[in-house]
Chains A and B, each alone.
Chain A
Amino acid sequence: MDATILGAAVINGLLLGGSYALVAVGLTLIYGVLHIINFAHGSLLMLAMYGAYYLLVKAHIDPYAAIPLMVVAMFAAGYVLYRGLIGRFSHGKDENILLITLGLSIVLENVALFFFKGDSQTITVSYSDRMVALGPALVPLPKLVSFAASLVLCAALAWFIARTETGRAIRAVAKERQGARLVGIDVEKIFAVSYGIGIACLGAAACLLIPSFYVSPSVGNLFVIVAFTIVVLGGMGSFAGALVGALIIGLTESLSGLFLGEALGQIGISLIFILILLFRPTGIFNK
């Protein structure tokens, strides 16, 4: 095997992992606080990608410039979804939240099919095809931007959770709800805020993905299985785990694509998933 090809595959894998990171971090945050898997994660990502797509096509707003807008919009969407639907109809039962988010994803996907039709769309921006030399690899500029921005945003989110009063409240609610109520934390509001932040991550991820990725009504499924694997690999609810897990999964996908052929790239991910469940079901970052 040529070292250059291998080096390029490693770099591409890491970049790919970076673009998974935000999606996985959002999923793991929601899991950590609400103790549920957000089955609507993929379809909300899809929705955000259409949002970024139409912002460019109809309003001529560059996807990168649209990040703040999409983050705020998706936060609001997540917050309202939790307050109006998930929190209201779950009656405090986790299995209800699960079913509601699952139902939500089916509805969103079908609504998207109805409005956007089944075929996939791509956009072209001036920098779509620009390539950058990165060691042995020649990588598309949008992928490099997406990687760097993902890491920066994950770090910003980690800072927010670690350092701010709301971040402290989120961590408190994650582990001790009654204690949180007794210091006057509005637990339901923190749930909604956490869900909103998890969905806001998708808003940013969508803007970073759209310059180099297609969008279709089912595009979310592609990401949600990968993100779920990452979250399990990193340890459910662990931030650092989600980040490192994303890079590992990106590498795995790229390398198994290299060795087994493009079409089989995802097999490596399934393999990792099974191995983790067999040997380390709590993930690499949890004791």
Chain B
Amino acid sequence: MLEVRGLRAGYGEVEILHGMDIDVAEGEVVAVLGSNGVGKSTLNNNLSGIYAPFGGSIRFCGEGIAGANPARIVDLGLIQVPEGRRVFPNLSVRENLELGSYRRGRAARARNLERVTRIFPRLKERYGQMAATLSGGEQQMLAIGRGLMSEPRLLILDEPSLGLSPILVDEMFALIGELNGEGLSILLIEQNAVQSLEAADRAYIIEHGVVAMSGPAAELARSPDLRARYLGL
């Protein structure tokens, strides 16, 4: 459903991604791994239309979306839960969730609120609280909940386990499995290579702005080269 071809992207004069090819098929969990500053979030923000690519093409469900505006991309159901959460600090938990369906999923807002608060009962307990006063883990739940409110067809999760305690990290990966089990396609950006490769069907390893390795996640997890560099084994 997502086809990225020869994507070049960066900021101003500086090119960070030098031609990337990435695919996500319907129902897949695809992991994108790479060290800090390699351009993973840059990739996401070009997919979401926050920045316009320098070159290459991005197709989502058959439609070219390279350089499209973010609202159009949300319309199509490509939803990103960004790094650093980016919840609305001055809005209540409930309002944050409601704005998740500002553009997409408005008709089923009430039903989706039900669903999200069933997935994250903690959010229900904090319904009237300002998002700024939530703990980091709760903010991450809120960010994912807000993403789910838009009824994503493909959900991009940018380092969802960042800053979470080991138990919450496990819960996060369990949730990824559950959502995928319900048919949701997921593009998972992570530092946590071990668990990501377990959760994913396929994976891409990014180095120096290009895809250095790719393939079925289970295969990559056995690759000696990768084990040495990313898994510290």
On A, residues with C-beta under 8 Å from B are 165, 168-169, 171-172, 174-176, 178-186
* Nearest-neighbor residue (CB-CB) of B92 within chain A: A168
Asked whether A169 lies within 8 Å of B102 as measured between CB atoms, the reply is yes
Asked whether B88 lies within 8 Å of A171 as measured between CB atoms, the reply is yes
Asked whether B95 lies within 8 Å of A168 as measured between CB atoms, the reply is yes
On B, residues with C-beta under 8 Å from A are 48-50, 69-71, 73-75, 79-80, 82, 85-91, 95, 98-100, 102-104, 146, 150
Asked whether A183 lies within 8 Å of B100 as measured between CB atoms, the reply is yes
* Nearest-neighbor residue (CB-CB) of B45 within chain A: A178
* Nearest-neighbor residue (CB-CB) of B49 within chain A: A181
**Interface on chain B toward A: helix, strand, loop, or mixed SS?**
loop
Measured between beta carbons, the chain A residues less than 8 angstroms from B69 are 186
Asked whether B88 lies within 8 Å of A184 as measured between CB atoms, the reply is no
**5 tightest CB-CB pairs across the interface, nearest first?**
A184-B103, A184-B74, A179-B86, A181-B70, A184-B71
Alpha-carbon distance between A186 and B71 when the two chains are bound, in angstroms = 7
Expressed in whole angstroms, the minimum distance between the Cβ of A74 and any Cβ of chain B is 27
Measured between beta carbons, the chain A residues less than 8 angstroms from B79 are 182
* Nearest-neighbor residue (CB-CB) of A174 within chain B: B90
Alpha-carbon distance between A165 and B73 when the two chains are bound, in angstroms = 20
Asked whether A185 lies within 8 Å of B91 as measured between CB atoms, the reply is no
Alpha-carbon distance between A44 and B136 when the two chains are bound, in angstroms = 44
Asked whether B87 lies within 8 Å of A181 as measured between CB atoms, the reply is no
Measured between beta carbons, the chain B residues less than 8 angstroms from A175 are 88-90
Alpha-carbon distance between A181 and B100 when the two chains are bound, in angstroms = 11
Question: What are 23 A-to-B residue pairs whose CB atoms are below 8 Å?
Answer: A168-B91, A168-B95, A168-B99, A169-B99, A171-B90, A176-B86, A176-B87, A176-B89, A178-B86, A179-B82, A179-B87, A179-B88, A181-B48, A181-B49, A181-B50, A181-B70, A182-B50, A182-B74, A182-B86, A183-B103, A183-B150, A185-B102, A186-B71
Measured between beta carbons, the chain A residues less than 8 angstroms from B74 are 182-184
Asked whether A176 lies within 8 Å of B71 as measured between CB atoms, the reply is no
Asked whether A168 lies within 8 Å of B98 as measured between CB atoms, the reply is yes
Measured between beta carbons, the chain B residues less than 8 angstroms from A182 are 48, 50, 70, 74, 79-80, 82, 86
Measured between beta carbons, the chain A residues less than 8 angstroms from B103 are 183-185
Expressed in whole angstroms, the minimum distance between the Cβ of B134 and any Cβ of chain A is 14
Measured between beta carbons, the chain B residues less than 8 angstroms from A186 are 69, 71
Measured between beta carbons, the chain A residues less than 8 angstroms from B71 are 181, 184-186
Known pairs A182-B48, A182-B50, A184-B71 / 18 extra A-B pairs, C-beta < 8 Å = A168-B95, A168-B98, A169-B102, A172-B91, A172-B99, A176-B88, A178-B82, A179-B82, A179-B85, A179-B86, A180-B99, A182-B74, A182-B86, A184-B73, A184-B102, A184-B104, A185-B99, A186-B71
Expressed in whole angstroms, the minimum distance between the Cβ of A53 and any Cβ of chain B is 39
Partner among B70, B86, B95, B98 whose Cβ is within 8 Å of the Cβ of A184:
B70
Measured between beta carbons, the chain B residues less than 8 angstroms from A176 are 86-89
* Nearest-neighbor residue (CB-CB) of B101 within chain A: A183
* Nearest-neighbor residue (CB-CB) of A169 within chain B: B102
Measured between beta carbons, the chain A residues less than 8 angstroms from B80 are 182
Expressed in whole angstroms, the minimum distance between the Cβ of A87 and any Cβ of chain B is 14
